Amino acid sequence: MRRALALFAAALMLFCFPFPYVQAAEPVELVSVSGTVRDPGGAPLQGVTVKAINTTSGAIFSSLTNETGGYELEVPLGTYNITATLVNYTANTSYAYVNLGAISTGPYDFTMTEVLGKIVGFITDNDGPVYNVIVRLSNEERNYTTTSTQLFGRYEINGIQPGIYVLYAEKRGYNRFSYPLPVEVERGKVLEIDMTLEAQPARVFGVVTAENGRPIGDVRVTLKASDGSLNTFTDTGPDGNYSIGKLSAGTYTMTFEKEGYETVTKSFDFGPYEEKMVDITLVREQAEGVTVLFGYDLAHSLMIIGFIVGLVIVLLGVLVNVRGQKKPELLAQIERKEKDEGD
């Protein structure tokens, strides 16, 4: 009897309180987002996470790239920020506030660059920056090389894989420099290592003379290194001597020049610690219509001519006097003639 009453009560509740009406959800319209992820060399990268984040709701949609570097996302219509991430890599771009309508634009491609280490520094000697120094970084697996060609002798090694390395620098005319400690390179870190080289100085010296062997002062002596690392000059002293020291081993061009003389240019190769004597003879520039005596300029030539003329006159006077003493009648005749002309 009780069971029958319970069933009757349950049936009564079903008729008195019907199930609520549930409206079916409208289908969400989706749009496709696709693209390709590659490394700087153009090779596809697999396993890159590409995310599309809705800027209104914050909903995140993600996908991984396949073996060809491609990916595809199905997202509801809306505005999105699209990014790509991979451990130890950085993307070249991201796409902000992309309005994805019923027809997708794109593709949304990425280039991923591996995050590596970097070493920078300056190379100097006791006199200042040193250029064209070869800098090497190496271990059992890898080797990196660069040259100090930047301002103030700066060098830079980029794209270094993490690890422990040895660092050294070398240039002809300098003792090889080896950094005394192991160099530990980390991802995304920049190490600053400056190096000071010890020179193996060479020296060039000599004397500049004219064709007659007379030393010439104030001759401009210019010295240029073939690699452009040095451009210096000096002037000869009154004795014609010059000297330029503290030179790195290498090939140089020397120029000797002074107004009124023909310029002389010579090339020499200097070894470490070499002392080289270079004597030069300058030749006078021959001006048209001007005669120069014995390698002397015009002024000195005229002085020589005047001296010679004066000497000749003196000698003639002495000769006449001697001959007059030997023949008094001739001397008396000359004196009478001079007296008559005076009257």
Residue whose C-alpha is closest to residue 69's, from 107, 116, 115, 32: 107
Dump pLDDT digits (tens) for 262-284.
Answer: 999 999 898 888 999 999 999 99
Same domain, 186 and 238: no
- Region 149-172: what's the mean pLDDT? 93
**Averaged pLDDT for residues 3-30:** 58
| Low-confidence winner among 118-127, 187-196, 260-269, 319-328 (lowest mean pLDDT) | 319-328
Do the Cβ atoms of 206 and 282 come closer than 8 Å? no
Percent of the chain with pLDDT over 90: 61
39 and 110 assigned to the same domain = yes
Question: How buried is residue 259: exposed, middle or buried, by Cβ count under 10 Å (0-12/13-18/19+)?
Answer: exposed
Q: Is the pLDDT of residue 338 over 80?
A: no
- Assess if residue 14 is contained within a domain: no
126 and 109 part of one domain: no
5, pLDDT greater than 80 = no
Q: Does residue 186 sit in the same domain as residue 207?
A: no
What single-letter DSSP state applies at residue 175?
A: P
Domain span including residue 149: 117-196
- Judge whether 154 lies within some domain: yes
User: Would you tell me the crossing angle of helices 298-326 and 328-342 to the nearest 10 degrees?
Assistant: 110
The CATH number covering residue 238 comes to: 2.60.40.10
Q: Quick check: is 317 in a domain? A: yes
pTM for the predicted model, two decimal places:
0.57
CATH number at residue 164: 2.60.40.1120
Whether residue 182 is found in the same domain as residue 208: no
Neighbours of 330 (CB within 10 A): 13
Residues 161 and 85 in one domain: no
What does the pLDDT average to over 150-170?
A: 95
Which of 114, 143, 161 is at the close of a domain? 114
Does 21 reside within a domain?
Answer: no
Q: Find the mean pLDDT for residues 159-166.
A: 97
Written as one string, the DSSP assignment of 134-154 is EEEEE-SS-EEEEE--SGGGE
The reply to whether 67 falls in a domain is yes
How far is the C-alpha of 312 from the C-alpha of 318, rounded, in Å? 10
The β-bridge relationship of strands 95-100 and 117-125 is unpaired
State the residue for tokens 């002809």: 172
Which residue, 29, 84, 27, is CA-closest to 52? Answer: 84
**Is residue 85, in this structure, part of any structural domain at all?**
yes
In degrees rounded to 5, what are phi and psi of residue 221? -110, 115
pLDDT computed for residue 288 by the predictor: 55
CB count in 10 Å sphere of residue 82 = 23
Mean pLDDT of the chain: 86
Question: In the predicted model, is pLDDT for residue 219 greater than 60?
Answer: yes
Mean pLDDT to the nearest integer, 87-97:
95
Confidence of residue 292 (pLDDT cuts 50, 70, 90): low
**The domain boundary residue, chosen from 196, 227, 261:** 196
Spatial separation of the C-alpha atoms in residues 343 and 333, rounded to whole Å: 16
223 and 268 part of one domain: yes
| 79 is a domain residue | yes
- Asked whether residue 212 is domain-assigned, the answer is yes
User: How high is the pLDDT of residue 229?
Assistant: 74
Q: What is the mean pLDDT of residues 235-254?
A: 92
Overall number of domains in the chain:
4
Specify which residues 267 forms β-bridges with.
Answer: 253
Asked if 95 and 138 sit in the same domain, the reply is: no
